[in-house]
């Protein structure tokens, strides 16, 4: 994580403190905020920098007068076990559905539109690139080098920023391209966020926790926005922030508002969940997201034996099975006939040779 990135996260923490000051205690309290990060160095560091801006030590929490910082717990789960935030726990059903998508006519047509970009990259980058995702990695590398004023190679001029930027746009959208992919990729995160709001509404006496903070990746931001149906097909920038807010009006009714902060220079954008109003009643919000909210993720991630094989494989296995049955049947019949013939006649010692 660069020093610039640390500074940006620190400033985001200060901005969040200012926005939610009335919901947070002046001094850090684990009862008021819960923080979870993916198990990646830069996201853990991002969370820590963010919290440094949100909760500078006060009074008795000051442990060193020369260091205006205090340790605040950040929870995480190993990536390969994390089905909620990192979404990298193996899910065979997702992988099967994603492969079907990549092989579909729709995506093949999009992929073919980058043939010239593939050719230039493969001739010059020193790596064989065959997928939109890998094209996006090349774009990301060049974008960062350009950001820090490195001189880009001459061969990049025909493809940077376009059409590589276009490929990057699709790479962020593909993981949650349809409802099934979105459900398996981000459904548990949506479920947890909704669960937090329902718990806040229903708990009596009210729980003191007012803020659940997640530190993850640009892909996580894109996946969440796309799952909610509000992704604008623009790469999430550094310190992009999605805010799902539970509000209570004067009548005691609960509503949800969605905001997206993609710049430190402008106010966050108010988003509208498809099928609802910008200030969406909680019950309607939950109902609209039922198709992408998942309960038994482990079960839905399983695939049947037949579905994991191609039709040709299934037919081949079926034919082989029939041949084995025929051979076994023929063997049994042959054995029975031999047994029957030896039963009816056996040579005696007195028989003439």
Distance between CA 145 and CA 238 in Å, rounded?
A: 15
Per-residue pLDDT of the chain (353 residues; tens, 9 = 90+): 999 999 999 999 999 999 999 999 999 999 999 999 999 999 999 999 999 999 999 999 999 999 999 999 999 999 999 999 999 999 999 999 999 999 999 999 999 999 999 999 999 998 899 999 999 999 999 999 999 999 999 999 999 999 999 999 999 999 999 999 999 999 999 999 999 999 999 986 677 899 999 999 999 999 999 999 999 999 999 999 999 999 999 999 999 999 999 988 889 999 999 999 999 999 999 999 999 999 999 999 998 654 544 555 556 656 666 776 767 776 666 666 665 555 444 555 555 55
Tokens of 206: 């009210």
pLDDT value for 344: 45
Predicted structure pTM score: 0.85
Domain definitions of the chain by residue range: 3-85+180-300, 92-175, 315-344
CA–CA separation, 73 and 75 (whole Å): 6
Cβ count near 100 (within 10 Å): 13
**Which residue, among 81, 94, 3, 87, has the nearest Cα to 42 in the 3D structure?**
3
- Domain 3-85+180-300 indexed as CATH 3.40.50.1240: yes
CA distance 315 to 310: 9
């Amino acid at each position: 994580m660069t020093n610039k990135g640390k500074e940006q996260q620190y400033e985001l923490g200060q901005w969040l403190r200012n926005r939610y000051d009335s919901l947070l205690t002046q001094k850090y309290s684990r009862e008021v905020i819960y923080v979870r990060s993916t198990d990646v160095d830069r996201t853990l560091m991002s969370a820590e920098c963010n919290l440094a801006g949100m909760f500078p030590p006060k009074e008795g929490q000051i442990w060193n007068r020369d260091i205006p910082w205090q340790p605040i717990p950040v929870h995480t789960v190993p990536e390969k076990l994390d089905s909620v935030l990192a979404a990298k726990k193996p899910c065979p059903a997702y992988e099967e559905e994603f492969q079907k998508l990549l092989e579909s006519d729709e995506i093949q047509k999009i992929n073919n539109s980058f043939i010239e970009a593939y050719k230039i990259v493969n001739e010059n980058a020193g790596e064989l690139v065959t997928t939109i995702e890998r094209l996006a990695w090349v774009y990301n590398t060049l974008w960062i080098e350009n950001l820090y004023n490195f001189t880009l190679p001459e061969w990049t001029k025909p493809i940077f920023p376009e059409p590589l930027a276009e490929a990057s746009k699709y790479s962020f959208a593909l993981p949650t391209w349809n409802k099934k992919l979105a459900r398996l990729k981000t459904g548990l995160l949506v479920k947890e966020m909704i669960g937090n709001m329902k718990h806040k509404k229903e708990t009596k006496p009210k729980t003191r926790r007012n803020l659940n903070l997640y530190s993850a990746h640009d892909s996580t931001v894109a996946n969440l926005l796309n799952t909610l149906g509000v992704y604008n097909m623009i790469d999430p920038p550094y310190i992009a922030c999605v805010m799902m807010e539970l509000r209570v009006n004067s009548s005691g009714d609960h509503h949800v508002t969605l905001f997206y902060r993609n710049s430190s220079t402008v106010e966050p954008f108010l988003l509208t969940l498809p099928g609802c109003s910008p200030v969406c009643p909680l019950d309607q919000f939950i109902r609209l997201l039922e198709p992408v909210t998942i309960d038994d993720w482990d079960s839905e991630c399983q695939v049947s034996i037949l579905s994991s094989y191609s039709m040709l494989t299934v037919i081949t296995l079926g034919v082989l099975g029939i041949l084995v049955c025929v051979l076994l049947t023929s063997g049994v019949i042959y054995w029975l006939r031999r047994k029957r013939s030896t039963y009816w006649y056996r040579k005696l010692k007195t028989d003439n040779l």
